[in-house]
């Protein structure tokens, strides 16, 4: 696992070859973001320069030519597009993940190189280029962002003492050599307002030991005049010389060196007047800057004149408004004097009219009150009649219910009496029948006894 800048840890891609052998470059970290800061990457992808102009560039040589003409620093943001003044500690602007600005052409072209998937040979061509130090700087930065940490020192080893100078800050003011820049790449994580991919601690220790074992080479003095000048300055001059030593031009690069293959191709395309076109392009850029400055000055002058004219117009309007208000006040006073009597008459008339209307209103109110009282009385009488009718109907229904209940009770009593009578009759009849049956049985018994007696008498005789 490898932690990349401010991003989450990502799995390192397996590299096909180790060291500086083979033409296919390994890729360390994220395959899509090139381990860039998310804010920088979003600004690169949304910038019109990357989407329109760099989209038309399809080859490695075209991108190198674009770097030669366009890149003037290798800071991630353009000058004045990102305000981080007054922010300290863990503020977003200090850590490089806060509000973005206008992303620089250097980082747009760096990501364009990443989209081309450079080979080892092309990358070596970048870092050994002789036309511009910014082409070399972008090559070294490409190595710092995409190559494994274990291979960084092998890439930078032959260039740690390179004395070619370049200004890395937007707007100028931070000149350093290629060797100093590479040492800062290896030993520091921060680069202006962004962060490089983190190097593991064991690898960082090894790199620090190798850098300490290889001290910087102090450049020789160019001329004896410089020695005399520094000798006169004394100790202060020695301190300054120790802090910022003067660098000699790189022996690898002569002032009258030839262009690269890409620029030879440009010469073939545009003819022998390629240098003249370059000068014209630079003059045109200077004129554009001067024109912008003039426009700004004219705009400032116009704003001042507008402010002055606006203030004069405001003063005139105030004076006019004051004079108009005075005239109006005088007219009002005259009208009040002339129309005082008319107003009093009107007030009397209005007062009489108000009295008449009040009387009419009072009459209307009285009549309305009487009608309302009458309605209320009628309603009360109706309610009383309705209540009486309801009470009488209730009493009648109660009487009917009472009468019907008494009749039912009498009927029930009669029924019960009739039933008792029937029961008594039935009992009498039953008793009468029983008595008759008893008499019959008694007679039968007596008759049977008499017959038996008559029969027994002759036998006895």
pLDDT of 233:
53
Q: Please tell me the predicted confidence (pLDDT) of residue 221.
A: 42
The predicted pLDDT at position 358 comes to 81
Of 5 and 185, the structure prediction assigns the larger pLDDT to 185
Q: Which token pair is 197?
A: 């991919």
C-alpha distances out from residue 330 to 28, 316, 325, 335, Å: 90, 21, 9, 9
Higher pLDDT, 283 or 203: 203
Share of the chain above pLDDT 70, in %: 75
User: Most confidently modeled of 92-96, 141-145, 409-413?
Assistant: 141-145
Pairing state between β 165-167 and 175-177: antiparallel
Q: What would the pLDDT profile of 135-180 be if each residue is shown by its tens digit?
A: 999 999 999 999 999 999 999 999 999 999 999 998 888 999 999 9
Dist. CA 38–CA 90, nearest whole Å: 17
Q: Which comes out higher in pLDDT, residue 290 or 76?
A: 76
Choose the weakest-confidence range: 39-43, 290-294, 351-355.
351-355
SS3 227: helix
User: Under DSSP, is residue 191 helix (H, G, I), strand (E, B) or coil?
Assistant: strand
SS3 100: coil
To the nearest whole percent, how much of the chain has pLDDT over 90?
Answer: 32
Given a cut of 60, whether residue 66 has pLDDT beyond it is: yes
Least confident of 108-117, 244-253, 364-373, 425-434: 244-253
Higher pLDDT, residue 453 or 87: 453
Split at pLDDT 50, 70, 90, the class of 232 is low
Is pLDDT of 103 > 70? yes
Q: Is the per-residue pLDDT at 434 higher than 90?
A: no
| Mean pLDDT computed over 44-48 | 93
Average pLDDT, the chain: 77
Residue 205 pLDDT > 90, yes or no? yes
pTM: 0.47
What are the residue ranges spanned by the domains of the chain? 38-81+99-213
Q: Which of 53-67, 231-245, 268-282 has the lowest mean pLDDT?
A: 231-245
Query: What whole-number distance in Å separates Cα of residue 194 and Cα of residue 7?
Result: 12
- Per residue in 303-342, pLDDT (tens digit) is 777 777 777 777 887 777 777 777 888 887 777 776 666 6
Residue 222 has pLDDT above 50, yes or no: no
Cβ atoms within 10 Å of 176's Cβ, excluding its own: 16
Q: How far apart are CA 128 and CA 162, in angstroms?
A: 11
* Mean of pLDDT values over 107-128: 94
Q: Residue 458 pLDDT > 60, yes or no?
A: no
- Strand segments, DSSP code E, in 254-364 are none
Under 8 Å between Cβ of 101 and 81: yes
The mean-pLDDT minimum among 46-55, 79-88, 102-111 falls in 79-88
């Amino acid at each position: 696992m490898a932690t990349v800048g401010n991003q989450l840890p990502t799995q390192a891609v397996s590299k096909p070859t180790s060291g500086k052998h083979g033409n296919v470059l390994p890729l360390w970290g994220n395959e899509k973001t090139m381990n860039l800061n998310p804010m920088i990457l979003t600004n690169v992808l949304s910038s019109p320069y990357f989407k329109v102009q760099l989209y038309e560039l399809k080859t490695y040589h075209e991108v190198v030519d674009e770097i030669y003409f366009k890149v003037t620093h290798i800071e991630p943001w353009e000058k004045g597009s990102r305000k981080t003044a007054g922010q300290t500690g863990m503020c977003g602007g200090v850590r490089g993940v806060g509000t973005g600005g206008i992303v620089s052409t250097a980082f747009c072209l760096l990501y364009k190189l990443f989209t081309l998937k450079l080979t080892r040979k092309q990358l070596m061509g970048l870092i050994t280029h002789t036309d511009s130090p910014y082409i070399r700087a972008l090559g070294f930065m490409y190595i710092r962002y995409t190559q494994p940490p274990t291979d960084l020192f092998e890439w930078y080893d032959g260039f740690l003492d390179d004395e070619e100078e370049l200004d890395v800050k937007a707007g100028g003011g931070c000149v350093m050599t290629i060797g100093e820049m590479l040492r800062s790449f290896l030993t520091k994580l921060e680069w202006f307002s962004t962060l490089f991919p983190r190097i593991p601690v064991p690898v960082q220790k090894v790199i620090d030991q190798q850098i300490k074992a290889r001290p910087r080479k102090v450049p020789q003095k160019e001329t004896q005049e410089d020695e005399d000048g520094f000798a006169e300055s004394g100790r202060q001059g020695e301190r300054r010389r120790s802090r910022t030593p003067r660098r000699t031009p790189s022996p690898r690069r002569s002032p009258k060196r030839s262009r690269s293959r890409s620029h030879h191709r440009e010469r073939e395309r545009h003819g022998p007047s390629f240098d003249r076109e370059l000068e014209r392009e630079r003059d045109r850029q200077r004129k554009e800057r001067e024109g912008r400055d003039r426009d700004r000055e004219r705009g400032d002058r116009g704003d001042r004149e507008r402010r002055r004219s606006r203030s004069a117009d405001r003063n005139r309007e105030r004076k006019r408004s004051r004079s108009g208000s005075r005239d109006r006040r005088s007219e009002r006073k005259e009208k009040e004097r002339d129309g005082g009597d008319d107003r009093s008459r009107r007030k009397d008339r209005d007062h009489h009219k108000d009295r008449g209307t009040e009387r009419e209103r009072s009459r209307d109110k009285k009549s309305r009150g009487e009608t309302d009282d009458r309605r209320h009385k009628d309603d009360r009488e109706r309610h009383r009649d309705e209540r009486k009718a309801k009470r009488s109907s209730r009493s009648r229904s109660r009487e009917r219910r009472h009468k019907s209940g008494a009749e039912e009770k009498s009927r029930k009593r009669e029924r019960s009496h009739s039933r008792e009578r029937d029961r008594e009759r039935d009992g009498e009849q039953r008793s009468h029948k029983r008595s008759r049956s008893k008499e019959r049985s008694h007679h039968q018994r007596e008759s049977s006894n008499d017959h038996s007696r008559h029969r027994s008498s002759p036998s006895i005789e």
